[in-house]
Amino acid sequence: MVLGLLLTVVLVAAAGIGLWVWSVWADTPPIDTLKPAHEGATSVVFAADGSRLGYIQSDTIRNPVRGDAVPADLRQATVAIEDQNFYEHGGVDPEAIARAAWEDVKAGAPVQGGSTITQQLVRNLYIAHPQEDLERKIEEAKLAQEYEDRYSKSQILTKYLNTASYGTIDGRTAIGVQAAAETYFSKPVSELNLAESALLAGLPQAPSEYNPFLNPKAALHRRNEVLQAMREQRYLNQSDYEQALQSGLGMDRGYKYETIREPYFFDYVTQQLIDRYGVNTVRNGGLKVYTTINPTLQAAARQAIANHPFSGPSSALVSIDPSNGHIVAMASSQSYSAGDQFNLAAFGHRQPGSSFKPYVLTAAIRQGMNPDTTYYNGKSPVTLTLDDGTTWTVNNAEPGGGTMSVREATVNSVNAIYAQLDLDTGPDNVRQTAYDLGITTHLDGYPAEGIGGLRIGVTPLEMANAYATFADGGIQNTPTAISKVVFPDGDADVPEEGERTRTISDGIAYEVTDVLKGVIESGTGTAANFGCPAAGKTGTTDDFTDAWFVGYTTELSTAVWVGYASSRTSMGYSAFGGTYAAPIWHDYMETAHGGFCGEFPQPQSPIAFSSSWSGDHEVSESTPSYSTGTGGTSTYTPPSTSTTGQYPPEYYAPGAGDAPAPNPSSGGDVSAGDDTSGGDSGTSTGPPPTSNAGGNGNGNGVGGGTGAG
């Protein structure tokens, strides 16, 4: 009886879904009744106060070409990387949809699209207000099938190659392969060689990430992926494949500049619009785009950075409204120019140092750990034995340490204690907590991540957003730069409306905040104290290559990073999060808050600590002596690649601690290497001091190497 009832419910539900799909399909107008997008009004972008940031140009470099002007290499490369079954399907590729769905399931989030070349083309040509939903996908599928009935594969591919987006530079996008060839190589598309064709073919999937002017390392990797796909699909022989792999990018810019306000932010917004609505709608749709950037706060960010200039290192700042995820300020010390258009604030992945420790703290408190009654021995060096028998040695910045609570260890940024806490909490649990709070970059779940040793690094944008979850009482927002898009017919789209998710209780958020307030009041971040209730954490990486301060009030969550944009270069022994980044944060937040000072509200669901929580490395409050750790309760087991019995270097990050910093002065020039008071450094046994176990930084501020603290 029950089984039959359940089966009936399932069948009725399936029938209902099928009827809805059929209804959407039937309601989609035939393609011969639709007019493709054509040249229209220029779209304009506004700041949050209504002032104009600039126009999105409709008279950009765009010169459609005949199919016979496109080299065979470029046509084949596009099919190989974008739609390998292009010549077999009828507009929709079920195999690609299934493959993309499987990748999304594995990742736990949308990471791969299943749209064919034809679907992407009809989206650009026929769907005026494209939304990221199932209804739009159904419409695309029907139109794609009808388009395939009307045009040959050669015509479809040529049309796609003339309408795809190949990257945004200076607020202008290269549309079509001719514009792309002229932009990136200063030559017509007909003269492109194999390697150049492969580079262009790889751009449409993620034009910002793979743009060779913004990220040459990623562009080279993507180009080689395209070449590999061509080789696997037998478009290339082995000899041509290997020869193309050996060639450089060979970039030769060929475009004129368009002056706009806040060009880094403008490019960021433009690419988001194109990714969402399609290039034709954005460039020629007459959109009115209202962004979240606050000119007053943006000016405050620029001034705060200018107050603390460095000779060599760059600074980047991102500030977010915790209540809705709106990016209100995004600034850096770099000048937007022909040779430097990489947005450090949005895309610069760097080692976070001790600014990552709050995620360990949060993960432990989620399990019931009380930071006031949980004690560890903080004396260093501490050698921890992992589950596979390898050892991991961690040093504090200063000698001594002794037994202290987790709260004290947070305020004083004690690496030895946080390494033990990470193992007792479980590195995988720490990784999941970081994701829940808002970190989007891939994490590996290695123990060293707990003290900031990340293989890839994190960006100021995602750090500001993750800390904003604490500020908003445990509610995580999707960071957004666009508040509203108004179409010529008056319809409005609010891209990120309603995307608020509670990921931790307000009680947990309040407890974390209470601990982090001590960092500013009496710990390593005293230079950030501007007289109002605030919480935050300093971060300094090994060899003094990165300095962070990430903190928040009830109104704003702000991340500040200082370091060399193009390499992992030491800034000198005085370069700590508390001495380099915290003063910038202080100046910005002081101006941004004006006369407002608000206390963090009491939680509606106070945390109930667990009396049974304990860790293998935990000690009693009265324990006076130092003892070596003997392994954690985490289920993490790193690959056993060590032949020395030590923690394998590729999963290891030495730590640099943070000492209390002086209160900020009224500004002045602090050059890298100057002997300012405050700060300290630490090392860990593992790779030699010159080792960059996580990889070298590249020319776009994407950091590698080791570092925590």
Last residue of a domain, one of 290, 325, 342: 290
Higher-pLDDT residue of 46, 60: 46
Q: Residue 574: pLDDT band by 50, 70, 90 thresholds? A: confident
Q: Residue 668: pLDDT band by 50, 70, 90 thresholds? A: very low
The single residue listed with the structure tokens 């989620």 is: 366
Q: Residue 480: pLDDT band by 50, 70, 90 thresholds? A: very high
Q: Are residues 352 and 455 in the same domain?
A: yes
- Report the distance separating Cα 628 and Cα 385, nearest Å: 8
Nearest one of 553, 557, 562 to 584, comparing CA atoms: 562
Higher-pLDDT residue of 626, 211: 211
Domain count, the chain: 2
Sign of CA dihedral 77, 78, 79, 80: positive
Q: What is residue 64's predicted lDDT score, i.e. its pLDDT?
A: 79
Residue 582 lies in a domain: yes
Higher-pLDDT residue of 612, 648: 612
Q: Give me the mean pLDDT over the 514-534 stretch.
A: 95
Phi, psi of 377 (to 5 degrees): -85, 120
Least confident of 166-175, 210-219, 380-389, 619-628: 619-628
- Report the distance separating Cα 103 and Cα 265, nearest Å: 31
Residue 707 lies in a domain: no
Q: Are residues 272 and 397 in the same domain?
A: no
Q: What is residue 138's predicted lDDT score, i.e. its pLDDT?
A: 73
Q: What is residue 595's predicted lDDT score, i.e. its pLDDT?
A: 83
Nearest one of 470, 440, 439 to 323, comparing CA atoms: 470
Residue 328, CB-side half-sphere exposure with 13 Å CA sphere? 24
Q: Residue 583: pLDDT band by 50, 70, 90 thresholds? A: very high
Q: Are residues 317 and 173 in the same domain?
A: no
Q: Residue 281: pLDDT band by 50, 70, 90 thresholds? A: confident
Least confident of 17-26, 368-377, 539-548: 17-26
Quick check: 466 pLDDT over 70? yes
Which run of H or of E encompasses 543? none
Quick check: 630 pLDDT over 70? no
Q: Are residues 162 and 198 in the same domain?
A: yes
Q: Are residues 62 and 136 in the same domain?
A: yes
Residue 170 lies in a domain: yes
**CATH number, position 111:** 1.10.3810.10
Q: Give me the mean pLDDT over the 346-375 stretch.
A: 95
Q: Are residues 223 and 362 in the same domain?
A: no
Last residue of a domain, one of 269, 290, 311: 290
Higher-pLDDT residue of 491, 320: 320
Which range is most confident: 249-258, 264-273, 330-339? Answer: 264-273
Nearest one of 374, 375, 318 to 346, comparing CA atoms: 318
Residue 217 lies in a domain: yes
Least confident of 85-99, 221-235, 345-359, 674-688: 674-688
Q: What is residue 371's predicted lDDT score, i.e. its pLDDT?
A: 95
Q: What is residue 147's predicted lDDT score, i.e. its pLDDT?
A: 81
342 close to 215: Cβ distance less than 8 angstroms = yes
Say what the pTM is.
0.62
Q: Residue 697: pLDDT band by 50, 70, 90 thresholds? A: very low
Which run of H or of E encompasses 607? none
Range of the domain at 524: 297-651
Q: Are residues 285 and 383 in the same domain?
A: no
Q: Residue 461: pLDDT band by 50, 70, 90 thresholds? A: very high
* Residue-wise pLDDT tens digits, 408-422: 999 999 999 999 999
Mean pLDDT of all residues belonging to the chain: 79
Q: Residue 497: pLDDT band by 50, 70, 90 thresholds? A: low
Percent of the chain with pLDDT over 90: 48
Helices (H) and strands (E) in the chain, counts: 22, 18
| Exposure letters 190-205 (e unless 16+ CB within 10 A, then b) | eebebbbbbbbbbbbb
Q: Are residues 331 and 250 in the same domain?
A: no
Q: Give me the mean pLDDT over the 360-373 stretch.
A: 96
Q: Are residues 459 and 608 in the same domain?
A: yes
**CATH number, position 624:** 3.40.710.10
Residue 421 lies in a domain: yes
Q: Residue 113: pLDDT band by 50, 70, 90 thresholds? A: low
360 close to 554: Cβ distance less than 8 angstroms = no
Q: Residue 306: pLDDT band by 50, 70, 90 thresholds? A: very high
Residue 704 lies in a domain: no
Nearest one of 365, 395, 400 to 516, comparing CA atoms: 365
Quick check: 209 pLDDT over 60? yes
- Report the distance separating Cα 158 and Cα 163, nearest Å: 9
Which run of H or of E encompasses 260? none
* Residue-wise pLDDT tens digits, 421-446: 999 999 999 999 999 999 999 999 99
CA–CA distance from 460 to each of 546, 703, 705 (Å)?
A: 12, 12, 18
Residue 398 lies in a domain: yes
Last residue of a domain, one of 620, 651, 682: 651
* Residue-wise pLDDT tens digits, 504-517: 999 999 999 999 99
Q: Residue 106: pLDDT band by 50, 70, 90 thresholds? A: very low
Quick check: 667 pLDDT over 80? no
Q: Are residues 381 and 500 in the same domain?
A: yes
Q: Give me the mean pLDDT over the 364-368 stretch.
A: 96
Q: What is residue 178's predicted lDDT score, i.e. its pLDDT?
A: 86
Q: What is residue 700's predicted lDDT score, i.e. its pLDDT?
A: 29
Q: What is residue 145's predicted lDDT score, i.e. its pLDDT?
A: 79
Q: What is residue 620's predicted lDDT score, i.e. its pLDDT?
A: 75
Residue 254 lies in a domain: yes
Q: What is residue 573's predicted lDDT score, i.e. its pLDDT?
A: 85
Q: Are residues 252 and 283 in the same domain?
A: yes
Contacts of 701 (CB under 8 A, 6+ apart): 314, 342, 344, 347, 348, 349, 350, 563, 565, 566
Q: Give me the mean pLDDT over the 485-490 stretch.
A: 88
Q: Give me the mean pLDDT over the 565-590 stretch.
A: 91
Quick check: 680 pLDDT over 70? no
Least confident of 403-407, 446-450, 546-550, 613-617: 613-617
Q: Give me the mean pLDDT over the 276-284 stretch.
A: 83
Q: Are residues 339 and 244 in the same domain?
A: no
Quick check: 105 pLDDT over 80? no
* Residue-wise pLDDT tens digits, 394-403: 888 655 578 9
Higher-pLDDT residue of 670, 496: 496
Provide the token pair at 466: 């993750």
